[in-house]
Amino acid sequence: MLHVPKIKAITLDLDDTLWPVEPTIVRAEQALADWLAQHASATARLLSDSPVRSQLRKAVLQAHPEVAHDFSALRLAYLGRAMALAGDDIALAPAAFEVFFAERQNVTLFPDSLSALAALAARYPNVAVSNGNANVHRVGLGAYFVGSVSAQSFGVAKPHIDIFHAAARSVQCDPDEVLHVGDDAHLDVVGALNAGMQTAWINRDAKVWSHPQTPHITASDMAALCAALGLDL
């Protein structure tokens, strides 16, 4: 057991910490493409071109810098702009977004995640802290969390220290009493260290650490994190 002092709460990243995000997004994109083919065929044809998709995303980011942290708002704006360019009814954009968003919540957990979440939740209050737009209740994990702070809801994204501080406040803890767990060395670990938190780096791919600051714990997966904390699965 690794003795990390004063842990009173856990904050957890979601994408690529508890589940692989790329296959989730691929499925969601395919569900959206299938829906567009049926309901907005001109938009489907337009978005079948990869350079066009890339240009549209850049245009939306340039037009809406105030929501750069909000993936849902960006996706909705992207769909509305694509439908307008294609000549489809832009009123279809919210329905198209919901098709994407629903499938985006259909995640496949890493094999170690569920038992680890149960063990962590039995000992600590868990708070989700994510830049993405996954919803812990819609993905079926709400029972393991007492709260969630997202870039979308809070208004700034990791690695900004304010989002970490907000998560700590939500469970009435000082930042140094919280262990933040995540896979991204910069967004999760360095961000949380700068916020004064303890940190655990979930390094599933045996990456080399390259930052001057170092995590308090490095674990190959969530099961290894629980072992480091002395928790039985």
pLDDT at 4: 53
Buried b (16+ CB within 10 A) or exposed e, 137-151: eebebeebbebbbbb
Give the span between the Cα atoms of 107 and 139, in whole angstroms: 7
In this prediction, what percent of the chain has a pLDDT beyond 70?
A: 98
What pTM does this model have?
A: 0.90
Q: Are 136 and 145 in contact (CB under 8 A)?
A: yes
Region 118-128: mean pLDDT is 98
Q: Which of residues 2 and 25 earns the better pLDDT score? A: 25
Cα torsion for 57, 58, 62, 64, to the nearest 10°? 10
Which residue intervals of the chain bear CATH 3.40.50.1000?
A: 9-19+107-228
Residue 1: its pLDDT value, please?
A: 43
> Mean pLDDT score of the chain, rounded to an integer?
95
- pLDDT tens digits, 161-215: 999 999 999 999 999 999 999 999 999 999 999 999 999 999 999 999 999 999 9
Give the max Cα distance, the chain: 61
Domain ranges in the chain with CATH number 1.20.120.1600? 22-104
Task: Give the CATH architecture of domain 9-19+107-228.
Answer: 3-Layer(aba) Sandwich (3.40)
Does the domain at 22-104 match CATH 3.40.50.150? Answer given as: no
Predicted confidence (pLDDT) per residue in 41-73, tens digit: 999 999 999 999 999 999 999 999 988 888 999
